Amino acid sequence: MVPVALLLWSAIRCAEISRWLALLPLPLIILFIVRAFGLMHECSHGSLFRSRWLNRKIGFVLGVLSGMPQYVWSQHHNYHHAHHGNWDKYRGPYTTLSVDEYAVLSRARQRFYRCKCSVAAVPLAGFIYLIFNPRFTWSKGSIGLLIHAVRQKLAQPHISFRTHVTSYRSRYWKSAREYRHILWNNIVLLSGCALMCWACARLRGLPNHACATAAMHDFYYVADEQRRDSGALAAHARLVGHELTLAPRGLGFRRQVGPAATGRSGSSSPDCFGRRQRA
Ligand SMILES: [Zn+2]
């Protein structure tokens, strides 16, 4: 986890110089995440630690890192181990065909099957398996759960909402415990992604771009260090017929941007802080 965090941090720093440079640590990030997935697999078999508790907790963290709700995955994986090779029950995640089954397919479907099983399809398959599917099934299942609970509550208001929720059956989870794992995996993972986007935006100075956009709407944004002068700035804003808006403190605004920054105005004059404003 520490190497992944350091590599992600280095990618963000590289992105400050060039977006293409940020691709440099990507192969190592992928390798470490694949390793995390392997270790999550060991936790699912209870073999990474002697303690069951540690296998569960670290398995959850590694599941977040690799994008997979670990507990639910472990249930499916147990089925894989129990029935692997028994083609009547299990054909693997790719629904493997026998030679005879392949031979009776149309040429187009044979081509599709070959593409699906080729090495070139691995990135797309990885995206669908690790990134898209866990988020999609959680969203779709949660919406179904909500609609079911609300409908049932309206039809049978004397029964508790909790009872209606527990009566819901989904093809994506088999128990409340499985749903809790899917839910928390997604919440932690998406929060981590949002946090990293926020960190990237701060480092790349996106708030300043936001400033420039806001300036087009005749707002004044003020840097934290200039807040003490906001009374004078408000007076100036009123004078030139604009609105004063103080940027939230944590956003890292480093400069004041006025309407003149957009270049919309024909004439301009220095503002009360020495910057040029529309007259
Ligand atoms: Zn296994």
The pTM assigned to this predicted structure is: 0.64
C-alpha 78 to ligand 1 mean position (Å)? 7
Give the integer Cα–Cα distance in Å for 124 and 194: 23
Distance 120 CA to ligand 1 centre (A): 25
Q: How far is the centre of ligand 1, averaged over its atoms, from the C-alpha of 68 (Å)?
A: 15
- Output the CA 36–ligand 1 centroid distance in Å: 14
CA distance 67 to 48: 19
Q: Are residues 89 and 100 in contact, defined by beta-carbon separation less than 8 angstroms?
A: no
pLDDT at position 148 is: 93
Cα(230) to ligand 1 centroid in Å equals 62
**Cα(194) to centroid(ligand 1), Å:** 32
CA of 42 from ligand 1 middle (Å) equals 7
What is residue 186's three-state secondary structure?
A: helix
- Tell me how far the alpha carbon of residue 87 lies from the centroid of ligand 1, in angstroms: 18
pLDDT at residue 265, as a whole number: 41
Task: Look at residues 217, 213, 226 and name the one whose alpha carbon lies nearest to residue 256.
Answer: 226
How close is the Cα of 135 to the center of ligand 1, in Å?
A: 23
User: Degrees (nearest 5) of the Cα angle 112, 114, 115?
Assistant: 65
Length of the chain: 279
Buried residues in 246-259 as b, exposed as e (16+ CB within 10 A):
bbeeebbbebbbbb
pLDDT at 226: 52
pLDDT of residue 20: 84
In angstroms, what is the span from residue 157 Cα to ligand 1's centroid? 45
> 82: CA distance to ligand 1 center in Å?
10
Cβ 220 vs Cβ 237: under 8 Å: yes
What residues form DSSP beta bridges with 270? Answer: 276
CA 129/CA 93 separation, integer angstroms: 10
Q: How far is the CA of 52 from the centre of ligand 1 (A)?
A: 16
Q: Is 238 helix (H, G, I), strand (E, B) or coil?
A: helix
pLDDT of residue 240: 59
Q: Largest alpha-carbon pair distance within the chain?
A: 83
Predicted confidence pLDDT, tens digits, the chain (279 residues): 888 888 888 888 887 788 788 888 889 998 999 999 999 999 999 999 999 999 999 999 999 999 899 999 998 898 888 888 888 888 877 788 889 999 999 999 999 999 988 999 988 988 898 889 999 999 999 999 999 999 999 998 888 888 888 889 888 898 889 999 999 999 999 998 888 888 777 665 544 444 444 444 434 444 444 555 566 666 666 665 555 555 555 444 444 444 444 444 434 443 333 344 443
Cα gap 217→261, rounded to integer Å:
11
Compute the distance from residue 38 Cα to the ligand 1 centre, in Å. 9
Residue 44 CA to ligand 1 center (angstroms) comes to 8
